[in-house]
Chains A and B, each alone.
Chain A
């Protein structure tokens, strides 16, 4: 379980997250929606410790992410992350991209790491592209490569930071399909997204962020059909 208590995050004087309380259960798919700058992406960075926090706690399966003694590199193996920009390693083939972390971080023998990589690339539909360099892949394929790369560490949670925002419209579908596949397989997921269809159809709960505050959280039917917050209704009216 991911447990967030009274989380505050500042960038200089800018108060980006203002006291977030949130629990995400194993197996749950949570979509986080809201306008740009509402703190959604920062929340993900605070969960896997890529950003320091100023107050509050974030715990993953009982481990305090931001505690001094925490081995953050080990903890991150549980938390796969996919970014808006896919950030494929350009000097490595698709297979090597995915095999890198199992080999380096987990110390798997080369052959085993490559087997894991091939399996995960198959999983996201890139089984034909094992020896291709990222520059020869489309944006959608590179994003699926990034998903496979994260999955190769056998994470228990997946964090998606606007995984489809940088893609051409015709490539969004293949990435969303892959995310749906993971949700169907029971992966615990936190998806910061602008894809309202995905949020409505796939998530167990939807959280709406507004200016660093989690205004509202609930089942998709409630958020999309009967939002309590004025801000939520306004936001949804604008994005539809």
Chain B
């Protein structure tokens, strides 16, 4: 009998490993982008707060663009147009750059809100003790304002982790891209998408739980 040529093969236990590795890539690009984006966004938030008019005229509109334009458009535009200016970035690097800037644009407003939440009287109390501007920012504003906006920041971080799925359009094999590849091979979209969802949940849920734990501890 002639051997049949098989285009499709069912879901195998090995494929779970494949998805697990992809989930780690999702985690890696998310952690990297959220960390860098948070640092950059905090800096932007501080500039928005301190720069007032100047920042409102220059920085704020730029951040608005990154917040408003759909992430998938930003990714495709950046990935395809960066080489024109001599930047030959692979999908991972392109994705990281855009996710970082996108995170920063979202975190900027959160950070500004955090600084505002501390309020002038508290800062005067700090300064009256002899704390310099930077010491006050580090030891009074950061811990107090940071806690005030921590839930918003967690929301941004979890959102960005899910949005990192869009980097798949550049060909970076993270969780969603890996799922698409497996679906093509196995023709079992329901099972594989459910598994991918479970992986995303497994990544998000501990973060969300830990955040709740921290909030409760601070509330005491």
B-contacting residues of A (Cβ < 8 Å)?
45, 48, 50, 73-74, 76-77, 79-81, 83, 85, 87, 89-91, 100-101, 104-106, 133, 135, 146, 149-150, 153
Which of B82-90, B131-139, B180-188 contacts its partner? B131-139
Per DSSP, chain B at the interface is helix
Q: Could you mark each residue 115-144 of chain B with 1 if its beta carbon is under 8 Å from any beta carbon of chain A, else 0?
A: 000000110111111111001000110011
Q: For the complex, give the distance between the alpha carbons of A83 and B128 in Å.
A: 10
Closest to B122 in A: A87
Q: List 26 A-B contacts (CB under 8 A).
A: A50-B128, A73-B127, A76-B129, A76-B130, A77-B130, A79-B128, A83-B125, A83-B128, A85-B121, A87-B121, A89-B122, A89-B140, A89-B143, A89-B144, A90-B144, A91-B143, A91-B147, A91-B218, A101-B130, A101-B131, A104-B135, A104-B139, A105-B130, A149-B129, A150-B129, A153-B129
Q: Could you tell me the distance between the alpha carbons of A194 and B140 in the complex, rounded to whole angstroms?
A: 30
Among B124, B130, B131, residue most surrounded by chain A Cβ atoms (within 10 Å)? B130
Cβ contact of B127, chosen from A74, A76, A90, cutoff 8 A? A76
Q: Report Cα–Cα, A17/B212, bound state, in Å.
A: 49
Task: Decide: A87 and B135 in contact? CB cutoff 8 A.
Answer: no
Task: Name the B residues within 8 Å of A89 (CB-CB).
Answer: 122, 126, 140, 143-144
Cβ-based interface call for B220 (8 A): yes
Contact, CB under 8 Å: B131 / A73: yes
Instruction: Point out the residues of chain A lying under 8 angstroms from B122, CB to CB.
Output: 87, 89
CB atoms of A133 and B220 under 8 A apart: yes
CA distance A135 to B127 in the complex (A): 22
Nearest neighbor of A51 in chain B, beta-carbon distance: B124
Q: A83-B121, A87-B122 are in contact. Are A105 and B129 (CB under 8 A)?
A: yes
Counting chain A CB atoms within 10 Å of each CB, the highest count among B122, B129, B131, B143 belongs to B129
Smallest CB–CB gap between B215 and chain A, Å? 13
Task: Using CB atoms, name the residue of chain A closest to B133.
Answer: A73
Question: In the complex, how many angstroms separate the beta carbon of A51 from the nearest chain B beta carbon?
Answer: 10
**CB atoms of B130 and A50 under 8 A apart:** no
Beyond A87-B122, A89-B144, A133-B220, whether A100 also contacts B139 by CB under 8 A is yes
Please report the C-alpha to C-alpha distance between residue A79 and residue B129 in the assembled complex, in whole angstroms.
8
Chain A residues in 8 Å Cβ range of B131: 73, 101, 104-105
A83 to B121, CA, bound (A): 8
Complex Cα distance A150/B121, Å? 15
Besides the known contacts A83-B124, A91-B144, A149-B129, 4 further A-B residue pairs in the complex with CB atoms under 8 A apart: A77-B130, A83-B125, A91-B143, A153-B130
| Chain B hits for A73, CB < 8 A | 127, 130-132
Closest residue of chain B to A85 (Cβ to Cβ) is B121
Assembled-state Cα–Cα distance A76/B5 (Å) = 84
Inside 8 A of B125's CB, which chain A residues have their CB? 81, 83, 87, 146
Query: For residue B121, which residues in chain A have a CB less than 8 angstroms away from its CB?
Result: 83, 85, 87
Closest chain-A Cβ to B114's Cβ sits at a distance in Å of 13
Cα distance, A106 to B130, chains bound together (Å): 9
